[in-house]
Amino acid sequence: MSAVDVALRVVDRINAHDVDGLAALLTTDHRFIDSMGTESSGRATLRVGWEQYFRMVPDYRVDVERAFSEGRDVVLIGVARGTYTSDGVLRAENRWTTPAAWRAQVQDELVAEWQVYADNEPMRRCIARAAV
């Protein structure tokens, strides 16, 4: 399986909100870097993190438009979208979309590192509106 195929399997599990399937594609010492540069590590930690994120953005979706790889490094370019919720109710005014890119490092057909590059401002505005 190519490195791009492995990264796209992760996207597939993200879009399915399949936390167990997603965790199974990560190395035990997996490192996640969000678009603010905050790092989390370990498969178990990321499993919990994805569960929490899917509660906050239950319709989160990644649409990949282009994929590139060099060796075990993969870059995906596309759009991230979803609806922020603090109470489980999806409201149209809390929908957001943003161009995004993801960088993955693949090791033995698992993802050792996943980094997100995206503008968080659309979701921040939704969070601010919901807090009012």
- The gap from C-alpha 108 to its chain's centroid, in whole angstroms, comes to 21
Q: What percent of the chain has pLDDT over 70?
A: 99
pTM: 0.93
Mind listing the pLDDT tens digit for each residue in 13-49?
999 999 999 999 999 999 999 998 999 999 999 999 9
**pLDDT band per the 50, 70, 90 thresholds, residue 132:** low
Which has the higher per-residue pLDDT, 89 or 130? 89
Measured on CA atoms in the order 45, 46, 47, 48, is the torsion positive or negative? Answer: positive
Per-residue pLDDT, 51: 97
**pLDDT band per the 50, 70, 90 thresholds, residue 129:** confident
**Domains (range + CATH), the chain:** 3-131 (3.10.450.50)
- Residue 90 gets the label, from left (phi > 0), alpha (psi -120 to 50) or beta, of beta
Q: How far is CA 23 from CA 11, 28, 100, in A?
A: 12, 9, 22
Decide if pLDDT at 83 tops 70. yes
Nearby residues of 62 by Cβ (< 8 Å), 6 or more positions away: 11, 14, 15, 76, 78, 79, 80, 100, 102
Of the ranges 51-55, 98-102, 116-120, which one carries the lowest mean pLDDT score?
116-120
